[in-house]
Amino acid sequence: MALREIVTVPDQVLRRKARKVTDFGPDLQKLIDDMVDTMREAPGVGLAAPQVDVPMRVIVVEYGEEDEEPRLYTLVNPEIIRASTDHETGTEGCLSIPGYAGNVDRPLAVTIKGSNRRGQPVRIKAEGWLARIFQHEIDHLDGVLFTDRAENVWKLEEQDQTVALAD
């Protein structure tokens, strides 16, 4: 496993729609392993393949509530198939937009379908911050950045950079 460089704005790979994965072979497995290592090293709670300059529909997310062990999710070709009508505004940051945060309004709960790293179908129901992380990462697969959805964006002071939700 290896760490990959996280691309930052204005790199155009962040603005393109990622292509669907059809081959679940060794190259995909290595990409996923590298993405997990890169996300953890950053540190972040999520990472999309375009953020490591690979325009494929792959995301990794690792999150757990304060009282629980973080859970790792690896999703290939994820899509949101249901979103709650209840929304909440929360602060987001992004490893591809270092030093900035913004308030983004998102549905409180989502249902996602996709495949696991072996190509088997999965369905995930997520609420709260986990739902927000999934939405943020799936946005990356469509070339959408949190700054596109933010009500306002601000530059973080150095001591505040760990406060924002970093993907």
Nearest partner of 32 among 77, 81, 69, 97, judged by Cα: 77
- Determine the 3-state secondary structure of 79 from DSSP: strand
Q: Give, in order, the Cα–Cα distances in Å from 124 to each of 18, 78, 150, 166.
A: 21, 10, 25, 21
Tokens for 42?
A: 């950053």
DSSP 20: P
| 58 burial via Cβ count (<10 Å: 0-12, 13-18, 19+) | buried
Measured distance CA(8)–CA(125) in Å, rounded = 30
Active site annotation includes 62: no
Q: Is 132 left (phi over 0), alpha (psi -120 to 50) or beta?
A: alpha
Residues in Cβ contact with 159 at an 8 Å cutoff, skipping those fewer than 6 apart: none
Catalytic residue among 62, 66, 69, 137: 137
Residues with a catalytic annotation lie at 137
